[in-house]
Structure 1
Amino acid sequence: MKITSIKFYHAQLKLRKPFITSLGFRDHANNIFVEINTNVGLTGWGECSPYPLINGETVDTCFVVGKMLAQRLIGEDPRETAELSALMDKTIYANTSIKSAIDIACHDLAAKSCDEPLYLHLGGKINKKIYTDYTVSINTIEQMVEDAIEVKERGFPVIKVKLGDGGPQDVKRIEAIREAVGNDIGIRIDANQGWKVKEAIATLQAINGANIQYCEEPINKHNYFKLKKVRKSSPIKIMADECLHDHYDARKLVKGDHVDYFNIKLGKSSGLVKAQKIIQEAEAANIAMQIGGFLESRILFTANCHLAHTSDLVKHYDFDSALFHETDPVIGGMEYQHDWEIRIPESPGLGLEVDRKFLDKCKSLEIN
């Protein structure tokens, strides 16, 4: 099997409400859908959601770099996923977001060629249930409380709360939210690098009574070596996010005993090849993991679900972003159940297609 063409689509998806973190405000998801075609008639799908402040990419850079990568990959066998990942790295440094979209599409093709679902192709098995959390954006205390109550009323098992724009105010936010939703629903928090070290320690100690599951990336990613200090002083577990891109980062974090948990995102890791290497590092150190994303559609989160079924140590799931979109152009793939369990089809590969009418409206670039 050989790659005959790679097509990139700018999929702009309006959000139902603004998504606000300590890193900024977004009212649209500007994603890249990738379609890879082959000489045997199989098509693979991938996706990324480039984010300048995390992976240093935009839609424009994805089109430019995507063209470079596609020109190198035409004629290659998409089933050789590890070799293609290495080839992309030899073509250009970083650009993990667009590489991940291509990587996912190649894995979709590899599994389809074996007529098996992706999780099985990756060596996984379905022996657990996956439930997503739902995120509350940074806002006024009153608005965040209202949003948290809505999340609970919709039946989500866990509320993820965005923080990081001021420790004392964040303490008030969490206290108000916990009082409003009660103690029978989980809360996890994400500061998105928003606190200084002392501020992080003080804030985490102050909200200890709120029964918080864990905190993602409390301080700036460049200060990852200071996470151990935060961790040792915090009564709340610490999860690496922005400072964890690939397996090399995982090794540094393990060696330094810096964090309790890992948060894997395919857009940071360059795709499934390196994500599996992170999982291997985590399993060797007995570190539990979360898999999450940026603002992708169900293409990416279907790949996430398949990956989650490859390790018993993947225990947390941040798979809510596809619910933020006003439109859903994905046909098939992962499905949200009424209780927010997520199930994936047993069909080959990712088990999905994309609405051609939607794609026809997207800016596109095809390399063949």
Structure 2
Amino acid sequence: MKIKSIKAYHVVQPFVDGPYRMSKGRVADCFDAVIVAITSDSGVTGWGEMAPLGNFYSAAFPAGTRAGVPEIAPHLIGQDPRGLAGIGRLMDTVFKGHPYIKSALDMACWDLTARAADVPLVTMLGGRESETAELYRVVTHGTVDQMAALAKRTIAEGCHRLQVKVGGNVRDDIERVTAVASAVPKGTVIFCDANAGWTPYQARQFADATRGIDYTFEQPCTTIEENMSVRRMLDKPMVLDESVTSLGEMLEIHRQGAADGLTLKISRLGGVTQTRLIRDVAVDLGFMITVEDTGGAEIDTAAMAHLSLSTPEERRLHAIAFHEWVTVRTATNKPPVTGSRMGIPDGPGLGIDVDPGLLGKPFFEIG
């Protein structure tokens, strides 16, 4: 089997609930996605998607993806898409760094390979560990009353896990989180996510003032060392997200004992291949795992679901349904969500039936 053609589409995906706000005044109105279709000489097509959250969240930006895919894609024509490790090495050889650009291409190769084998992607990723994964929802940065009301409404809609955005003015965030915790039932799972917005001094202030609230602290500071300095005084679990950029960084987090759990983002790591590798090693090292991405719609959410459901259930934290965040559709089906849990679509590969008519004209095509 050989790669015969590659197409790339640019799809802007506005948010259903308006602007997404996080620490330091960072805000985005949409996911700005690149969707890739890779077709083999046997006529099978695999799909991949990558969508940065603005220019501020990761070392990735939408225009970079659109510029990078045409640089890499010609080198993949004629290659066997089933040689997933070799495809990854080839992309790294012809285009150094920039793993986010390679993510959609890698994902499409996985989808194509699983579709050609007529098995769901979860089977190739280690096997299905459970039927569904528990979802969390985000309480974005806002006023005290806004955040408490959103948390209360989210719980009323059947969700039991909240990620509360912090990382702004410490005293204000203490008030916000206290109000959120008071507005939801006892036993609600709360993660306080600063998105690396604080110095260790600020993070310690927040942690000390909120000792009476049950939550998991997520990525309070930027570097592994800064987060470790906070962890030394912390009486709560800690999860790192932005710090997990490679297998080497994950192993350094383990060496320092800097976290109890990890959030693995597919595009930050360069695709499904590296995410699966890091996930499997991290599970063996005892970490709790969340697999998600920086954004996207049905395609990327399906990849997240397959990786989540092939993660041992006792090591899985939760998942997120990004396709529910956006106002546009890219496929005729979607990862199924029932209540506060998400499964995977039926069918081979990702199980997503992409409708090219919903994507517009490709901005790049080769074959």
Normalised by the length of structure 2, the TM-score is 0.94
State whether residues 45 and 353 of structure 1, in contact with CA within 8 Å, keep that contact through their aligned partners in structure 2: no
Match of 1:365 in 2: 364
State whether residues 291 and 314 of structure 1, in contact with CA within 8 Å, keep that contact through their aligned partners in structure 2: no
RMSD (Å) for aligned C-alpha atoms: 1.6
The CA deviation string for residues 274-312 of structure 1, in whole angstroms up to 9 with x for no partner, is 112212321232111111222211211111111122221
Q: List gaps (5 residues or longer) in structure 2.
A: none
Counterpart code for 1:210: I
Q: How many residues align?
A: 363
Report which stretch shifted further, 125-134 or 287-296: 125-134
Report which stretch shifted further, 47-56 or 165-174: 47-56
Closer/same/farther in 2, CA of residues 184 and 286 from structure 1, 3 Å limit: closer
Match of 2:143 in 1: 140
State whether residues 138 and 163 of structure 2, in contact with CA within 8 Å, keep that contact through their aligned partners in structure 1: yes
State whether residues 266 and 293 of structure 1, in contact with CA within 8 Å, keep that contact through their aligned partners in structure 2: yes
State whether residues 129 and 311 of structure 2, in contact with CA within 8 Å, keep that contact through their aligned partners in structure 1: no
Q: Distance in 2 between matches of 1:205 and 1:92?
A: 45
State whether residues 131 and 343 of structure 2, in contact with CA within 8 Å, keep that contact through their aligned partners in structure 1: no
Match of 1:56 among 51, 55, 59: 59
Instruction: Give the number of the structure whose residues are more often strand, by fraction.
Output: 1
- Partner-residue secondary structure (3-state), 2:59: coil
- Partner-residue secondary structure (3-state), 2:279: helix
Per-residue deviation, 1:236: 1.9
Match of 2:190 in 1: 187
Q: Distance in 2 between matches of 1:54 and 1:81?
A: 28
Q: Distance in 1 between matches of 2:81 and 2:315?
A: 27
Match of 2:267 in 1: 267
Q: Distance in 1 between matches of 2:358 and 2:79?
A: 29
The CA deviation string for residues 97-142 of structure 1, in whole angstroms up to 9 with x for no partner, is 2211111110001111111000101222233530211111101111
Q: Distance in 2 between matches of 1:226 and 1:164?
A: 14
Report which stretch shifted further, 244-253 or 325-334: 325-334
State whether residues 292 and 317 of structure 1, in contact with CA within 8 Å, keep that contact through their aligned partners in structure 2: no
Counterpart code for 2:303: A
Match of 1:32 among 31, 34, 43: 34
Match of 2:211 in 1: 208
Match of 2:277 in 1: 277
- 1:8 maps to 2:5: no
The CA deviation string for residues 180-207 of structure 1, in whole angstroms up to 9 with x for no partner, is 1231422112100111102112212222
Q: Distance in 2 between matches of 1:207 and 1:38?
A: 55
State whether residues 137 and 162 of structure 1, in contact with CA within 8 Å, keep that contact through their aligned partners in structure 2: yes
State whether residues 135 and 340 of structure 2, in contact with CA within 8 Å, keep that contact through their aligned partners in structure 1: yes
Counterpart code for 2:250: A
Per-residue deviation, 1:151: 0.7
- 1:178 maps to 2:181: yes
Report which stretch shifted further, 161-170 or 274-283: 274-283
State whether residues 199 and 226 of structure 2, in contact with CA within 8 Å, keep that contact through their aligned partners in structure 1: no
Closer/same/farther in 2, CA of residues 177 and 243 from structure 1, 3 Å limit: same
- 1:217 maps to 2:219: yes
State whether residues 123 and 310 of structure 1, in contact with CA within 8 Å, keep that contact through their aligned partners in structure 2: yes
- Partner-residue secondary structure (3-state), 2:359: helix
Closer/same/farther in 2, CA of residues 314 and 100 from structure 1, 3 Å limit: farther
Per-residue deviation, 1:318: 3.4
Match of 2:253 in 1: 253
Match of 1:18 in 2: 19
State whether residues 132 and 309 of structure 2, in contact with CA within 8 Å, keep that contact through their aligned partners in structure 1: no
Closer/same/farther in 2, CA of residues 10 and 320 from structure 1, 3 Å limit: same
Closer/same/farther in 2, CA of residues 330 and 208 from structure 1, 3 Å limit: farther
Identity %: 26
Normalised by the length of structure 1, the TM-score is 0.94
- 1:83 maps to 2:86: yes
- 1:243 maps to 2:246: no
State whether residues 7 and 366 of structure 1, in contact with CA within 8 Å, keep that contact through their aligned partners in structure 2: yes
Q: Distance in 1 between matches of 2:56 and 2:89?
A: 25
State whether residues 33 and 48 of structure 1, in contact with CA within 8 Å, keep that contact through their aligned partners in structure 2: yes
Per-residue deviation, 1:350: 0.5
Match of 2:355 in 1: 355
Q: Distance in 2 between matches of 1:299 and 1:346?
A: 13
Per-residue deviation, 1:333: 4.1
State whether residues 250 and 281 of structure 1, in contact with CA within 8 Å, keep that contact through their aligned partners in structure 2: no
Q: Distance in 2 between matches of 1:121 and 1:298?
A: 20
Q: Distance in 1 between matches of 2:318 and 2:51?
A: 18
